[in-house]
Amino acid sequence: MNWWAKLSATISMIIFLTAITTPSRLLNNQNLSSAAPAVSKSFTLFYNGVEITTQSTILIDGYTYIPLQILIDQITNFNIKLDRGNNHCTITSDKYVIDITFDSPRVLVDGVELMLKSSVRLIDQKAYVSLEFIRDVLGCSVIEFQPSDAILIFSKPLINGDAGENKLLNCKLQEYLTTNLYSLPENYSALHKKFAQIIHPGDIEIFCQNLLDAISTPTSWGAVEFVESGIVARTTDAAVVYYKVKYNDGFSEDTIEGLWGLQKYNSNWYLRWSQ
């Protein structure tokens, strides 16, 4: 759970729980040294508008690496297998096979040799891949949004989007963030009805239950003033939006800012909510 979701648990709406493509080149057989030091840095990872996890990424030679398994778990029909010697792994899908040798820029996609600027690394028995690999081999759109220490990955190409639709996304987030906790009904069915057009159908049940618990046992009073929001990146059916709000607990004022993911489902846009 991200820090701004934790903080917003005390504000009036109480959220209690809440591209660059570089073409690959043909490989001239070579290996990269694994001696380069790895530096950990905490990043929040979004995939298709859903916040997956907040954990440490690895920085090596200026490249950002994330655990490959975390991403593979999000992609349908993808599997990863390490060989017994732990110097090679294979990614399989219903479309192609990717063969990887650790500490080498060589990647084989259905037998075609490609060369990247970075190599896949094996650290503590986990395969780590760079954002370059995610873009150029897996074919995803990738944004490293450093102001919020976030990595945004989309399975589809990025678009600017229609101005009216982009405004709708911002308005839905603003409506949610500025909801007054004390004006909400203490009834599950009523909460479900109120948020049915805002919270994603896959999240609405657990969201309403946690919100009901928060309403029943509020820990503090707070108020929210919406400051701004804007689309960071989006595709035809997924988006990540930046937001900033002011929080006042009656004694002091603070500014909270962060990112929120949305997805389109049955022609309607919804906020994704994760505990």
Tens digit of pLDDT at every position of the chain (275 positions): 443 333 333 333 333 323 333 333 333 333 444 556 677 888 899 999 999 876 667 888 888 999 888 888 888 778 888 775 678 889 998 888 999 999 999 999 999 999 999 999 988 888 899 999 999 999 999 999 988 889 999 999 999 999 999 999 999 999 998 887 778 888 999 999 999 999 999 999 999 998 888 877 755 545 678 999 999 999 999 999 999 998 876 677 889 899 999 999 999 999 998 75
Cα dihedral 205/206/207/209 (nearest 10):
90
Under 8 Å CB-to-CB from 135, ≥6 apart: which residues? 19, 20, 21, 22, 141, 142
Domain spans of the chain?
3-18+157-271
Radius of gyration of the chain (CA): 21
CB 235, CB 157: distance < 8 Å: yes
- Full DSSP string of 7-54: HGGGSTT-----------BPPPS----TTSPPEEEEEEEEETTEEEEE
The CATH T-level fold of domain 3-18+157-271 is Nuclear Transport Factor 2; Chain: A, (3.10.450)
CB 46, CB 152: distance < 8 Å: yes
Q: Give the per-residue pLDDT at 36.
A: 61
Crossing angle of helices 188-195/204-216, nearest 10°?
Answer: 130
Question: In angstroms, rounded to a whole number, what is the distance separating the alpha carbons of residues 275 and 6?
Answer: 10
